[in-house]
Structure 1
């Protein structure tokens, strides 16, 4: 991962990388006048999406009656939501994206409804400090949700959506003269009476900060993971010590190192050097192995205690940014900028047992639920939920905006998504569907596999404001 510039000659934290949804709508409206590829932008009574944005949370009841899951009133803006999805795929392309028609063809494989929409809160907007790092959301329960807004980490509760507390204020860091910009965070729940919950964050210049979630005084401990010039902290993975169960943290950084911290003592206990920058790590449930992905096409399976590489996997075609080990210890998921998501069987590393492509952009986060489903969050707009390592079916949840992070509550009983879009961003929550593995539906209606694309659009027009709770 480049520290300062990439192939587009834009800094990794350049604000021009933010393609706000309102900017997209303006661009679509202007370009549709001459570009015949784009669906026409139908004008409604409201002149701009920037007007009339909701300030209160949106509930499932609100969506069923008047607005979509992000509080967008398509009826008054003018165009159909499906037209916006098609225009966005044209104006916001990605090397890993597929066409709208191809996405529709794939919908026939979607037969699972893992999650249903629960709420959206526009008051809680996360912010990313590096366009490739999208792990600034964490949760220990639905009442302890944390997200970064630059130099601060905020705390909220899904049960009390008006709650907005400052868990960490790092605008005047103790360890550095430079401002602390949060690049990643990890929240670890209480494991025992002796083991309290902790919040660990990493910074743009190699800093770290730790606080006790259960502490009344909210004291924050700060320090440096590394003083290297290229030492940006790319990922933090918290886990329990294999012997004591006490919380540990694995810090990945851009200086090609992985460092282990004993969180209660704030003492670094080991460090491992590799040939390339490491962008993500995940430790196996038994604490013996660790998977690493980074600025290489290779995925490394290492000894978690010594750091030695045991297996090298070479199936991705670009740098890796996400990985996770399943709760049963059998499967590992990895994702890279080639748009691919791979699932590996830890009993046989010879080749991946499953391979999927992305929908609109590359995946930045992969997480296994306790029941074996795989949640894959792309850079923007899309979260897919596969029904397991075989992944014969999936649910695609779509919305508009950059994804700053995804968190699972109670092992996946609830899914939280941090949307960083300036206009339509906020916290989205989805709960495990009581219907379980029922037939896939769109906009609340059953869709026949033989329906044409125009028929689907007719369904959308009829149910215009229910807007893709299950896409």
Structure 2
């Protein structure tokens, strides 16, 4: 909706009021072929809409719709002649830059609070310089069966390893190997409700999906434990959509837990060893995303409210209610250093918080940085794993843009752009691979990027450096710790010191 609505006076649950298109919960913006067709149509429509300058060729648009590559590798790229998604912009008669400018001018960023994303209301948001080069394109497997059921929920990508990624299809969850392009069925649904996947995730051992009707399904990925599918019911509320799920271990044991954020205002934790709900907490608004702190004591939660909640992970007690965002939140993550937190919002801002100082001396909520996105709200956030190199925050917007942000200064970024709605991002291969899911109906699929700055972590990166006034929260250290020894000693670290030295030795003459 474009404006705030008093839910109490309507008698409706917020889900009934939060759809840009009342006839569908799908994306409100056109997929890439529709975008091109609309562009071409306006060239000969009403004079007020008539286009000036080059427009896409309609026969070529039709050909692109019919002929779709299964895979686009790095060595096939030819600039405007053949891009990441196998689109030949030269044949269309327009440049990719022209298409990008038009897409940004016509894209509708969905908001629940009117004008929350306007530049006037975001004068303090920081536009980052695109000068970094953390990842390079490796491949994209085009798949037309990616199923995005809700335009606001974009956490539908699960990554267990560099060869095992998962996404929802029409009657199943597909398993895809980005290294070979091979697909197979990971989980098949026999009933209508199970196939309506609203969120999913995967760990090394478990694949789990939440549904539109308060249900969840999961299976073990270890072949020795079989492929039985377990299911459960979180809620019977008529708006019990499962908005987000995170897998994490118990603080007191190795038991795997699944933390579910639901649209019925509930937050529930399920013991996956026993398949039972062990915790249920109700809040004052719908929960859209959560992330656990590395020590598993705190949790950050965002939802259908402009405030960010910091809660006790065990009891659910609200410890901090942080102000700053201007709309509803759909993305969050907690960094491996234990104190850096990121939250993404429909207001097109990403706020960075420091757990050592949630508020200033006046008691006001204090974010240490506010980053403005390129085109739409950030709906998936991921900090790079500990031990994977330069600390990075990856932010996938609602569509098109994937931003890799310097997570030490939050002043610079690398951006990769494609055309289409995005279903999430996740790291694989100890942080050396970045997987992104595009949900575009004609040119969607699984894109793989690989880290290309290995070896840049020279020993001098860990020396104390000058910090600008007011940047008390910035810590020295290339990775998430202040020395290489601390990095590899941490239980969550992905590599040994010897492995990092070997990697560094392969890139120029850096030492570590």
Tell me the TM-score normalised to structure 1 length: 0.83
Q: Residue 212 of structure 2 corresponds to which residue in structure 1? A: 204
Relative to 1, partners in 2 of residues 1:317 and 1:140: Cα closer, same or farther, differing over 3 Å?
same
Distance 1:435 1:143 in 2: 21
Secondary structure, aligned partner of 1:22: helix
Secondary structure, aligned partner of 1:83: helix
Q: Residue 88 of structure 2 corresponds to which residue in structure 1? A: 73
- Structure 2 residue runs of 5 or longer lacking an equivalent are 1-12, 110-114, 120-125, 360-365, 458-512
CA drift at 1:406: 1.2
- Structure 1 residue runs of 5 or longer lacking an equivalent are 99-104, 190-196, 439-471
Residues 330-369 of structure 1 aligned to structure 2 (within 5 Å) = 330-350=339-359, 351-369=366-384
Q: Residue 105 of structure 2 corresponds to which residue in structure 1? A: 90
User: Is the CA contact 1:126–1:136 (under 8 Å) kept in the aligned structure 2?
Assistant: no
Q: Residue 293 of structure 2 corresponds to which residue in structure 1? A: 284
CA drift at 1:221: 0.7
Provide Cα deviations, 1:52-102, integer angstroms capped at 9, x if missing partner.
53333110000148511110111211111111111112222336488xxxx
Tell me the TM-score normalised to structure 2 length: 0.77
Distance 1:435 1:247 in 2: 32
Q: Residue 152 of structure 1 corresponds to which residue in structure 2? A: 172
Relative to 1, partners in 2 of residues 1:148 and 1:9: Cα closer, same or farther, differing over 3 Å?
closer
Residues 375-414 of structure 1 aligned to structure 2 (within 5 Å) = 375-414=394-433
Relative to 1, partners in 2 of residues 1:144 and 1:268: Cα closer, same or farther, differing over 3 Å?
same
User: Is the CA contact 1:58–1:120 (under 8 Å) kept in the aligned structure 2?
Assistant: yes
Distance 2:74 2:132 in 1: 19
CA drift at 1:159: 2.0
Provide Cα deviations, 1:185-213, integer angstroms capped at 9, x if missing partner.
11011xxxxxxx01111000100001001
Instruction: Tell which deviates more after alignment, 342-351 or 211-220.
Output: 211-220
Provide Cα deviations, 1:206-226, integer angstroms capped at 9, x if missing partner.
000010011353110112111
Q: Residue 22 of structure 2 corresponds to which residue in structure 1? A: 10
Provide Cα deviations, 1:296-355, integer angstroms capped at 9, x if missing partner.
111110000011011110111111111100011120000111111000001000100010
User: Is the CA contact 1:129–1:150 (under 8 Å) kept in the aligned structure 2?
Assistant: no
Secondary structure, aligned partner of 2:16: coil
Q: 2:202 aligns with which of 180, 184, 187?
A: 187
User: Is the CA contact 2:379–2:396 (under 8 Å) kept in the aligned structure 1?
Assistant: yes
Q: 1:55 aligns with which of 69, 76, 79?
A: 69
Secondary structure, aligned partner of 1:328: coil
User: Is the CA contact 1:387–1:394 (under 8 Å) kept in the aligned structure 2?
Assistant: yes
Distance 1:265 1:72 in 2: 48
User: Is the CA contact 2:36–2:56 (under 8 Å) kept in the aligned structure 1?
Assistant: no
Q: 1:21 aligns with which of 14, 18, 32?
A: 32
Q: 1:139 aligns with which of 153, 159, 171?
A: 159
Relative to 1, partners in 2 of residues 1:9 and 1:401: Cα closer, same or farther, differing over 3 Å?
closer
Distance 2:315 2:127 in 1: 43
* Matched residue count: 420
Q: Residue 41 of structure 1 corresponds to which residue in structure 2? A: 55
